[in-house]
Amino acid sequence: MTSTLENSPTNSAYNALLAGCPTREVLNALSDKWVGLVVVSLADGALRYSEIARTVEGVSQKMLSQTLRSLERNGMITRTVTPSTPIRVDYELTALGAELLPILQAVKTFSEANIENIRDARVLYDLAN
């Protein structure tokens, strides 16, 4: 009989619930403020730096650069420089990034679909506390 450890649904050697687990780095990287929106902005294919900046409204150059650098370093996106004048830089999801995309899209969709439920819950909570 196979045991059913529902809270251990993966057969991976790693478990982010454990303190020293290196996957916590990844979890932290994925919970950076702009990561979700930047990855989602690349859903339809490669985008230039300025196009991402326009798509992800409100992101500063610093934060966008930093986020792109982090995603590139973690193998989620590629960076392609075309040395034309003016210079052109395109960012595109890697296979790994494409695997991550639907997950982060789900987070975004969940937020958009339930924002009103959440607001209602907050009103109730704040009334009672």
Partner DNA sequence: CAGCATCCGTGCTGATACTG
Partner DNA sequence: CAGTATCAGCACGGATGCTG
The two structure tokens encoding residue 40: 């989602």
Instruction: Name the minimum Å distance from CB 65 to its own copies.
Output: 14
What length does the chain have? 129
Q: Which has the closest alpha carbon to 89: 49, 39, 38, 52?
A: 49
Other C-beta atoms within 10 Å of 10: how many?
8
120 binds its own copies per the rule CB under 8 A: yes
Instruction: Name the minimum Å distance from CB 15 to its own copies.
Output: 7
Instruction: Name the minimum Å distance from CB 84 to DNA.
Output: 9
128 binds DNA per the rule CB under 7 A: no
Contacts 24+ apart (CB under 8 A), 76-80: 76/39, 76/100, 77/39, 77/42, 80/46
x-or-dash string of contact with DNA, 80-109, rule CB under 7 A: ------xxxx--------------------
Q: Which has the closest alpha carbon to 55: 25, 9, 46?
A: 46
15 binds DNA per the rule CB under 7 A: no
Footprint of its own copies (CB under 8 A): 6-7, 9-10, 12, 14-19, 22-23, 26-28, 30-33, 36-37, 40-41, 43-44, 55-58, 72-75, 96, 99-100, 103, 105-115, 117-122, 125-126
